[in-house]
Amino acid sequence: MNHQPDIRIFITGGTSGIGYQAVRNFLEKGYKLTLLCRNSSRVDSTINLLRSDNFSLSKIDRLVSFPIVDLSNLNSIQEFTANELSKGSKIDRIILNAGLQYTGSKLIRRSHQGIELTFAVNHLSHQYLFQRLFPLLNKSESPRVIITASEVHNPESAGGQIGRRAGLCNLEGIKRSSSFEMIDGLSSFDADKAYKDSKLCNVLFAKELSRRILKNNLHIPVLCWAPGLVIPLTKDGFFRHSRKYNEWGQVMFAFIARDLFKITESPQNAGKILYNLATSDFYQKELFLYLSNNIKTFGQMVLTKKAISSEANEDLKAEQLWDLSYKIIQEFVTIDPF
């Protein structure tokens, strides 16, 4: 793709792991970034990390904005998006990449609004962000949405078969109350299943978003992708929250998966994939794609188009999830329909 410094990219989950590696690629090519950070200390640590990766402070200041947005607080999102809408500046790419997991915890964690934290951060915040920022995305000549999901949304996948499997049943939990424990309304709380369910929500959201875009006669590609099992050499990245519940178990799992069997992807390679999904003209053609980064041979992964799970293919459930999520959001903050 030709260098396009006027492209503005909005990203969640860009301060660590896959997202940070994608940010490095964007900066190297001169893209303008809006990088959401949870708090001021996260802003400082991200700037320091970028400087340690040889990005000058002048380049960072010129290309990156670091708004403080707490994805576990709908009020924080509302305040940020109101400010963005008042400015009226276009957004060319919305990358919904943030993902939280606290597998191993026996106790449920909740957002500022009292919503189960995995659902609130991984799904609800992203639907709210998109619906609020859509007018700015619609100003772009080449808009695109990228959503980071996971193969664990599929109970038939290798990762999806470990532990309790993803499944939303009839969405009874969120039909009854915003203070639900599990989306299906049947299961006892399980942090690992809550994460898998949130990834299923990501795919259903992507499908429904694509349907609504098509219904409005718009051309906005929606790319949903699974990066594979990404385990960094450091203690940062995706497993940083769940590690504290089982430190030795995480160490052993990382050694077996990453170092012994070599069935993991590096954050650097996954970040490069995310960068390509956002910048390559190839991905501006189809209105919906689900792509998965799968093992080709030991130590080598390849991104391919893949079928989503049978439950993720349920159009009615995708529509219901969207409407129920909208209803929950509407209990607490301002939101326009889409």
Which residue type sits at 52? S
Residue 315 belongs to some domain of the structure: yes
Residue 159 belongs to some domain of the structure: yes
Rg of the chain in Å (alpha carbons): 19
pLDDT at residue 300, rounded to an integer:
74
Residue 242 belongs to some domain of the structure: yes
Rounded to an integer, what distance in angstroms lies between the CA atom of residue 181 and that of residue 276?
A: 37
Q: Which two tokens stand for residue 21?
A: 């590696």
Q: Where are the alpha helices (DSSP H) in the chain?
A: 17-28, 40-52, 57-63, 74-87, 117-119, 125-137, 172-176, 191-215, 247-254, 267-279, 315-332
Rounded to an integer, what distance in angstroms lies between the CA atom of residue 15 and that of residue 240?
A: 13
Residue 96 belongs to some domain of the structure: yes
Residue 307 is classified by DSSP as P
Rounded to an integer, what distance in angstroms lies between the CA atom of residue 305 and that of residue 313?
A: 15
Residue 2 belongs to some domain of the structure: no
Residue 338 belongs to some domain of the structure: no
Q: Which two tokens stand for residue 322?
A: 């969207």
Mean pLDDT of the chain, nearest integer: 90
Residue 55 is classified by DSSP as -
Contact 98, 198 (CB under 8 A): no
pTM for this predicted structure: 0.90
Q: Is the pLDDT of residue 234 over 50?
A: yes
Cα–chain-centroid distance for residue 28?
22
Q: How confident is the model at residue 235 (pLDDT cuts 50, 70, 90)?
A: low
Q: How confident is the model at residue 252 (pLDDT cuts 50, 70, 90)?
A: low
What is the residue range of 227's domain?
8-332
Residue 1 belongs to some domain of the structure: no
Share of the chain above pLDDT 90, in %: 81
Residue 64 is classified by DSSP as E
Residue 76 belongs to some domain of the structure: yes
Helix axes 191-215, 315-332, angle to 10 degrees: 100
Structural domains counted in the chain = 1
Q: Which pLDDT tens digit goes with each residue over 7-18?
A: 999 999 999 999
First-to-last C-alpha distance (Å) of the chain: 31
Can you tell me whether residue 226 is helix, strand or coil? strand
Please list, in sequence order, all residues whose beta carbon lies within 8 angstroms of the beta carbon of residue 39, skipping any fewer than 6 positions away: 68, 70
Q: What is the CATH number of the domain that holds 101?
A: 3.40.50.720
Rounded to an integer, what distance in angstroms lies between the CA atom of residue 265 and that of residue 57?
A: 30
Beta bridge partners of 145: 94, 222
Q: Is the pLDDT of residue 289 over 50?
A: yes
Q: How many CB atoms lie within 10 A of CB 36?
A: 26
